[in-house]
Amino acid sequence: MACLQPVTTFSLEEDPSRAQRIVVLRIEYARQLEADGDVQAARAVYTEALRTFPFEEAQCPKLWEEAAALEERHGDLSQARQILQNAVRISKDAKLVDALLRLESVAERRGAYASHGDYVNRLREVYKEVLKVHTLVVEYWLRFAKLEEDEGQVARAQALLSMCAQSFSSEATRLFKVSISRRYDMLEDVDRVWARRVGLQRRCIKRAEAEGTLQEEEPKMDKLLYDLLESVWSDYRYEALHWRTAVLMETTEVPSDLGTTLSRALARWSEAVEGVHQYYASLNKEDSTHVGRLRSTFKTLIERERILLKQSVGLEEGKNSFDEAQVLQQWVKLLLSPLVGEWGRLEVLYGDAKSLEEVKSVASQSTGKKRTRLFKNRA
C-alpha cells in the first residue's frame, strides 16, 4: 500500500488525460485503506479527488460510484445520496443515475422512508433532478412515466410522455438546419414516446373493459391518435414549407409532385397512418366503425391543415391577384396531397362511390375558383 501513497500528491488539475490515469490509482489506494480499517483516510482520498478532478474537461463516473459505495457500505446513506446527486448534475453517464435510483431502493428496504408514498415522492424528485440535466435522454422520461403508471397515476404518466414528445419535437425542429440525420434520430425517439403513450392508453382500455367503463376511455384513445397524426403531419408540414422555399429560389412553376427531398417525412407520415389504421382495425374484425373514426380524423385534419397551409403560403381572401391566387392554390393542393391521398386510400379499401366522390370534391377545393367572365359571347 505504501507504494500507492505518493499518487495522492499528484495534481489532477493540469492534464485531464493524466488525471484519469492517476485517479484510478487513487481509487485503488482508497480501497486498500478501507480494507485496512482506515475508513476516514479512504474517505479523505475520495473527497480530495472529487474536489480537484477536472470534470468539465473529462469524465470519471467510477470515482463518483466508488465514493458513494464507501459511504453506503459504512451506513451513511445520506452522504452516499449527496455524492450521487452531485454526480448526476455534473456527469452525463447513465450509470450514475442508475446508482442513485438503486441507492434509494436500498434506503427503502432499510426503512429510511416512513411510507411507500414517501419513497415514490423521493423517486419523483430524483427523476425531476435528472431531467433538468438530461432533458434529451428519452430513457429517463420513459422510466419516470413507468413509475407513475406503476403507481396508478395514468394521467401523470401521460402528461410526462406528452411533455417529452413536445420537447423532443422542438429539438428535432431546431436540428432541421443542423443535421437531417440527427433530426430523424430525435424523431425516432419521439415515435418511441408516442408508441408508449398509445400502449399506455390501450392498457387503460383493457382495464376499462373489465370494469365496465369503456365509454370513458375510448374517446381518450381517439383524441390521442388524432394528436399523434397531427404531430407527425406537423413535422412533415415544417419540412414541406422549407422545401417550397427552396423550390421558389429556382423556379416560379409549381412542381407536379413532392419529389424525393421529403421522402423521409412522407414515409413517417404513412407509417403513422398505417399504425392508427391497424389499431382501429384490430378492435373488431367484424365491425367497420373504425373506418368512420379514421375518416372523421382525416376530414378534421384536412379542414385544419388547409387553413394553415393557406396562411403559410400567403393565400388570403381578396388580397391576391387572380393569377397569384391560382398558383398559391396549386401549392396548397400539392402540399396537402399526402393527407388527402391517405384518406383516398382508405375510401378505396372500405368506402363506396359516394365517399370516393367526397374525397375528389375535397381535393378539388384546393384549386380555387375560376376567373369570372365579365363579357360573355353573345349570339
- Ordered by start, the domain boundaries in the chain are 15-113, 135-252+264-284, 307-363
Which of the four pLDDT bands, split at 50, 70 and 90, describes residue 1? Answer: low
| Model confidence at 67: pLDDT above 60 | yes
For residues 347 and 343, give the distance between their C-alpha atoms in angstroms, rounded to a whole number.
Answer: 6
| Model confidence at 372: pLDDT above 50 | no
For residues 290 and 296, give the distance between their C-alpha atoms in angstroms, rounded to a whole number.
Answer: 10
Please list, residue by residue across 324-354, b when 16 or more beta carbons sit within 10 angstroms of its beta carbon and e when fewer do: ebbbbbbbbbbbbbbbbbbbbbbbeebbeee
DSSP string covering 11-28: -SSS-HHHHHHHHHHHHH
| Model confidence at 11: pLDDT above 60 | no
Per the rule left: phi > 0, alpha: psi between -120 and 50, beta: everything else, 240 is alpha
More confident residue, 138 or 133: 138
The alpha carbon of 145 is separated from its chain's Cα centroid by a whole number of angstroms, namely 12
| Model confidence at 358: pLDDT above 80 | yes
Which of the four pLDDT bands, split at 50, 70 and 90, describes residue 376? Answer: very low
15-113 CATH: 1.25.40.10
pTM assigned to the model: 0.85
Q: Provide mean pLDDT across the span 330-359.
A: 93
Per-residue model confidence as pLDDT tens digits over 196-213: 999 999 999 999 988 888
| Model confidence at 364: pLDDT above 90 | no
Per-residue model confidence as pLDDT tens digits over 98-108: 999 999 999 99
DSSP character for 7?
Answer: G
